[in-house]
Every structure is written in C-alpha cells, then in structure tokens.
Amino acid sequence: MNFLRTMLPASWLTLALGLAMPAWAADKVLVGAFDLGPGGNPQKFNPLTASAGFTWYNKYFGTLALYDAGFQQISGDLAQSWLVSPDGKAITFKLRKDVKWHDGKPLVAKDVKFTIDLARHPDSGSAFAARLDGISSVRVPDDETVVLELAAANTAILDTLTSLMILPAHHLAHVSPKDLRNSDWWQKAPVGTGPFRWHSYVPDQYVELAANPHYYRGRPKLDKLVNRYFKDGGTAAIALQAGEIQFSYLTLDQVKGSPQPASFKAVSGASQVLNYLGFNNKDPRFNDVRVRRAMLMAIDRQAIIKNLYSGQAQAGNCIYTQKQFLPASLNPYAYDPSKARKLLAEAGWAQDKNSPIELLTYYGDQLSKDVAAVIQAQLAEIGVLLRPRFVDAPTFTKQVDAGKFALVFAGAGNGPEPESMAPLMDSAFVPPKGLNRMRINIPELDQLFDAGRKEVNPAKRPAIYRNVCQLTNAQLPLAPLWVSNRFGGISTKVQNMVWTPAPGGGRYQDNAESWTLP
C-alpha cells in the first residue's frame, strides 16, 4: 500500500479508527504497535507459552542474558556473569545484587530456579520444555548463585535463556503449573524486573506500562510505554505517519514505492528467518536427491529476490546464513531448468498431470502469494506440478505435525546460535517429540548436531557447523531459498531507540531505559 500523501490530524485519525485513547500528551509517552508483524504475539501475556512477542515481554520482564543488537555476543541481563565447567555439564550464574521486582522485593536465585523448573514442567504448556530437557537439576547454593546441572554438555542452552523471562516465585509458587498456564495474573497485575512495570490493559486496544523507578540500569527517560493493537498493518502505518504512534512494524509493500514521510524513518535488517521449500522426507517421490536438486535449480531465486523482494533478500545455499558457518565452497544451485529436467529424467520422475502436489504454507500476505505463484510456474516448466494452499498457522502446524503434507513453503529462525536448527532436522525431534516436521533422518547430520552442542570451546564450534552446512547443501533435506529483510518505522521524534528484526522479536539489549522523546 502507499502511505497517505496528506497528513491527517491525530484527532481525526483517532475518531476515524473508532478508538478512545487516553490523553497521554501530558506525559513523556512512547506509543507503538509492538506486537504487529511476525515478531509479535498480540494479547498473549504468558511468556512461557510464547514463541514470539519477546520485544514487548522484555519491557516488563527480564532474562538471565541477552544478545547485543547485532546478535554477535551474549551478555548478562539479570545475570552478572556465568561460568561453564570444563566438561560443559554445569553452568554457574551469578545474579546482579541490585535487581528488584516491581513490588520492591529483591530478585533471588530461587526465582530463577522456580522459573526454569516451571518451564520444564509438562503441565505448564511451556514452549521451552524441549530445549531445557537436558537440565538434570537446578541448584541454588545462595541467593545470588544458580547452578544448572546438565545431563550432557550443551552450550546452546545460553541461547534459550535469552528468551526465558524470569518470574517471581513469591507471587506464583503457590499456583499449580496447569492453573498458571491460563491464569489472569498475566494480564491483570504481572510483576517483573524490566525497565517498565504494568499499569493497565484495555482488551483489543492497548497495554500501558509505567516507568520502573527502581530499574537496575536507572529509571527510564520515558514516563510510559504503550503497546497499541491494530487489526491490520495498514491502519498502523497510517497511524505512524499521522503521529498517533511512534513505532510500527512495516511490510515491504508499505516501504517500497512510497515516499519517505518526514514524520518517521524506516529501518531494516535481515530477518534471521530462512525461507525454504520443505520436503516430506517420508514421501517416496522425494527420496532421490536428484529430484530435490532439480526442484531447487528450477527456481530462479535471484529473479524472485530482484523482482518480488526488490533486492531486499539474500539467497541461502544451506540451512545457515551466518558467515562463520559457511564453508568456502557450496553448490549454488544456480537457475538452470535444462539441467533440472535432465536430473528429473535420470531419477525417473513421473507425475500425473491431474494430480498436482500441494504446496502448503502459512504465509498469507500478497508478497508470499506472488512468490508461491512464481515457484508454481517455474516448477511446472520442468514437469513438477504444484497447487499452493494457504492456511493459518494452527492449521499448518496440525497438518504437518500429523505428517499429512508433501511440500511446504515455510521459514525457520536462523539466528546466531546454530543449534537452533537442530530441533528442525535432528531425527530425535520428529513429532510428537519435537519440530522435525520434515521427517529428516540423516545419521551423519544427527552426529554433527550432537558434536556441536557438546563442544564447550567456542572457537571450535563453527567448524562443526560448517560441516553441517556442507552436508545439508549436498543432500538438500530441505531446499534453502533466501533470508529476506524486515522493516520497522520509528518516529523522527524518538531518540536512542534500538530495533532490529529477529525471529520472535526481542532477545537483544535494546536499552529501552534510554529511549526518549522531546
């Protein structure tokens, strides 16, 4: 869509949208659509069951550790430091001494133990349970020390802890994990340690947070932070231009071809999400690697990136896109329909013209529909007939978990921790045990993932994952396509705001206590 060419007065826009917003003008308040887009989790307030929304959760909760904004290094948040034992089977965290809960009580080690034990409990509905399964026990020698004892070395657990919001035991320990899962505590008066504390929630309209005067990094410069909810991104984009809000996620369609309004600036960055063509590895039609290679070579990825993504994407040739995990030479699978046809012929490919293969996807935006149409047309050129089917995320998950699919167009978080791809590809994680929905079963790949998670020397881990990259490039258990950029819009009035795209949002130190407005 194109932005409105004429600035609407804020009062007009509020009336036009049918919203009755509080009079925030008297305070230093930043209003944003923080839960809009793929990194959001609107009106879902239990962070243990969340796979997204961490940008907002981090504003009133805290984690033991966080990445820097460039996702290059993990540093402490609630933890001041940590030490990994030589065998990698124990991680000892030292907590900061100056952290208080929003009710004034001090953060202590038993809060961390309570949170981790809760996240591992089967009745909690936790999205972290599988990733924390390797923890044998959590010890608290004193109020400032937490020791994670692991069944086997797993340094990747630090990445998981950047998303795990620490919860107050003195508020929640008396509630059963099952009851806590859907408790109204999460949306009525949650207590955290973040730079802002809970103030109010109006369903379908907004959540309002107030500055935490006891935040360990200092009181925020803003008085309030507001998360407004929008039914669609177009309305949020109009509100951003009109000055009704100061931040919003933006789509490529909203950015490209539109003049840059003086009221805000667009920021972009790699999404860290690898889009891929996923094969059901149990489907005999895809058993021959020549079929998988042919299908990837029939897709003109560079043309799609140039013409549909306006150059705002980078092609991927293995399951990783971070430079430190890429070997010197990879098969680029350059667009070559003639060679693709030859590979299919060698593999004995035959398809009934009246039985197209369903290409299942949860992407429903116009760009993704255009991409699916191009993939459909290009594969038809080599004799592979597809029928795209667009469904919502729950339907997609239910169908692929049950193994009732042939091909998917999907995305996988591809951040700085290479172990993040293991649950999607290790044979031990086939549903219902995990997220290996493509039913990948490559023993050599399993061994490499196991070696990577057990390696405690950070300098040695990249070489292991370069071998993972080389193997997946050769065997193509899924066909990597590209990593696209994502966009955000920040009001020109806002100072010191840090935002970068990330799978699920957040997980990095954005220094929200330093954000300010004139």
Report the pLDDT value the prediction gives residue 290, as an integer from 0 to 100: 98
Instruction: Record the pTM.
Output: 0.86
Question: Measured between alpha carbons, how far is 210 from 28 in angstroms, rounded to an integer?
Answer: 10
pLDDT bracket for residue 67 (50, 70, 90):
very high
Q: Is the pLDDT of residue 92 over 70?
A: yes
Report the pLDDT value the prediction gives residue 1, as an integer from 0 to 100: 36
Each residue's pLDDT tens digit, 345-385: 999 999 998 999 999 999 988 899 999 999 999 999 999 99
Q: Is the pLDDT of residue 28 over 50?
A: yes
Query: Which has more pLDDT, 13 or 129?
Result: 129
Q: Is the pLDDT of residue 72 over 90?
A: no
Q: Is the pLDDT of residue 3 over 50?
A: no
pLDDT bracket for residue 26 (50, 70, 90):
low
Q: Is the pLDDT of residue 447 over 90?
A: yes
pLDDT bracket for residue 7 (50, 70, 90):
very low
pLDDT bracket for residue 259 (50, 70, 90):
low
Each residue's pLDDT tens digit, 286-299: 999 999 999 999 99
Report the pLDDT value the prediction gives residue 456, as an integer from 0 to 100: 87
Report the pLDDT value the prediction gives residue 272, as an integer from 0 to 100: 87
Report the pLDDT value the prediction gives residue 416, as an integer from 0 to 100: 86
Each residue's pLDDT tens digit, 132-170: 989 999 999 999 999 999 999 988 899 999 999 999 999
pLDDT bracket for residue 252 (50, 70, 90):
confident
Say how many C-beta atoms besides its own lie within 10 A of residue 75's C-beta: 13
Whole-angstrom CA distances from 400 to 37, 173, 192, 428, 469 are 23, 36, 36, 17, 24
pLDDT bracket for residue 70 (50, 70, 90):
confident
Task: Give the list of residues 6+ apart from residue 193 with CB closer than 8 angstroms, or none.
Answer: 61, 62, 78, 99, 100, 101, 102, 107, 166, 215, 216
Q: Which two tokens stand for residue 7?
A: 């600035």
Q: Is the pLDDT of residue 257 over 90?
A: no
Query: Which has more pLDDT, 347 or 504?
Result: 347
Say how many C-beta atoms besides its own lie within 10 A of residue 235's C-beta: 18
The secondary structure element, H or E, covering residue 481 is: strand 478-491
Question: Measured between alpha carbons, how far is 13 from 138 in angstroms, rounded to an integer?
Answer: 52
Q: Is the pLDDT of residue 48 over 70?
A: yes
Q: Is the pLDDT of residue 4 over 50?
A: no
pLDDT bracket for residue 25 (50, 70, 90):
low
Q: Is the pLDDT of residue 6 over 50?
A: no
Average pLDDT score over the chain = 91
What is the mean predicted confidence (pLDDT) over 31-59?
93
Q: Is the pLDDT of residue 2 over 80?
A: no
Report the pLDDT value the prediction gives residue 11, as an integer from 0 to 100: 42
CB 480 within 8 A of CB 316: yes
Each residue's pLDDT tens digit, 300-316: 999 999 999 999 999 99
Q: Which two tokens stand for residue 20?
A: 């009755």
Report the pLDDT value the prediction gives residue 404, as an integer from 0 to 100: 96
C-beta contacts of 22-28 below 8 A and 24+ residues apart: 22/208, 24/224, 24/226, 27/223, 27/224, 28/221, 28/222, 28/223, 28/224, 28/516, 28/517
Report the pLDDT value the prediction gives residue 12, as an integer from 0 to 100: 37
What is the mean predicted confidence (pLDDT) over 304-332?
93
Query: Which has more pLDDT, 446 or 263?
Result: 446
Report the pLDDT value the prediction gives residue 226, as an integer from 0 to 100: 98
| Bridge pairing between strands 79-84 and 90-95 | antiparallel
What is the mean predicted confidence (pLDDT) over 58-63?
98
Q: Which two tokens stand for residue 330?
A: 């990879």
Share of the chain above pLDDT 70, in %: 94
Report the pLDDT value the prediction gives residue 504, as an integer from 0 to 100: 82
Question: Measured between alpha carbons, how far is 245 from 206 in angstroms, rounded to an integer?
Answer: 12
Give the three-class secondary structure for 126: coil
Question: Measured between alpha carbons, how far is 462 from 452 in angstroms, rounded to an integer?
Answer: 8
Task: Give the list of residues 6+ apart from residue 93 with CB closer than 8 angstroms, or none.
Answer: 64, 79, 81, 82, 112, 145, 146, 147, 148
Each residue's pLDDT tens digit, 186-234: 999 999 999 999 999 999 999 999 999 999 999 999 999 999 999 888 8
What is the mean predicted confidence (pLDDT) over 50-67?
95
Q: Which two tokens stand for residue 311?
A: 């150059």
Task: Give the list of residues 6+ apart from residue 171 with CB closer than 8 angstroms, or none.
Answer: 103, 185, 191
Q: Is the pLDDT of residue 505 over 90?
A: no
